[in-house]
Homo-oligomer: A and B are copies of this chain.
Amino acid sequence: MNATRSQTLGTLEHEVGVVIRRVKRVIGERARAVHEDLQPASYLVLTYLETTGACRSSAIAGAFDMDKGAISRLVQHLDELGLIERTPDPADGRAALLSVTDDARRRMADVQKHRRKYLDERLADWSDEDLRAFVDMLGRYNASLDPD
């Protein structure tokens, strides 16, 4: 067994643990910036919905690799805040299509400033290439952990 490799893995787990809490904080701030009562986890769903367009709850659960029950609650929360709309899927009476409301889109646009401030403050020394490379590796790592 390659000892170095195992050690690297240990560091990886530790770093991921730290990143978890820090990113949570950042996302929490941003969530509150979008809407006073918006929970961090729901904010992530909202951004996903904004970039990928309308989709159903189960698709989100798949993309986030998360329990559908948990997603259901987050979606409910977003609905209550008026940030998304649920329109019944004409093709399937069970399903609903989720889409971002204009209000939410407006709020998210405003937060771009916030995001820019964050970028300038914290990620100033990250080049676009670095950032992209990092995200790619995160994606690859995620894929490796995908239980299929």
Given known A-B contacts A1-B116, A13-B27, A22-B142, A132 and B8 have beta carbons under 8 A apart: yes
Point out residues on A near B: beta carbons under 8 Å.
1-2, 4-23, 25-27, 41, 44, 47-48, 51, 63-66, 112, 115-116, 119, 122-123, 125-126, 128, 130-135, 137-139, 141-142, 144-147
CB distance from A117 to the nearest CB of B (A): 11
B19 touching A142, Cβ below 8 Å: yes
Docked CA distance A12–B47 (Å)? 11
Task: List residues of chain B with CB within 8 A of the CB of A66.
Answer: 21
B11 touching A16, Cβ below 8 Å: no
B47 touching A14, Cβ below 8 Å: yes
Given known A-B contacts A8-B128, A47-B13, A128-B2, A64 and B18 have beta carbons under 8 A apart: yes
Task: List residues of chain B with CB within 8 A of the CB of A139.
Answer: 11, 15
Docked CA distance A144–B122 (Å)? 5
A4 touching B138, Cβ below 8 Å: no
Docked CA distance A44–B16 (Å)? 10
In the A-B complex, the 10 residue pairs with the closest CB atoms: A22-B145, A15-B138, A134-B137, A16-B23, A122-B144, A12-B135, A20-B20, A17-B44, A18-B142, A8-B131
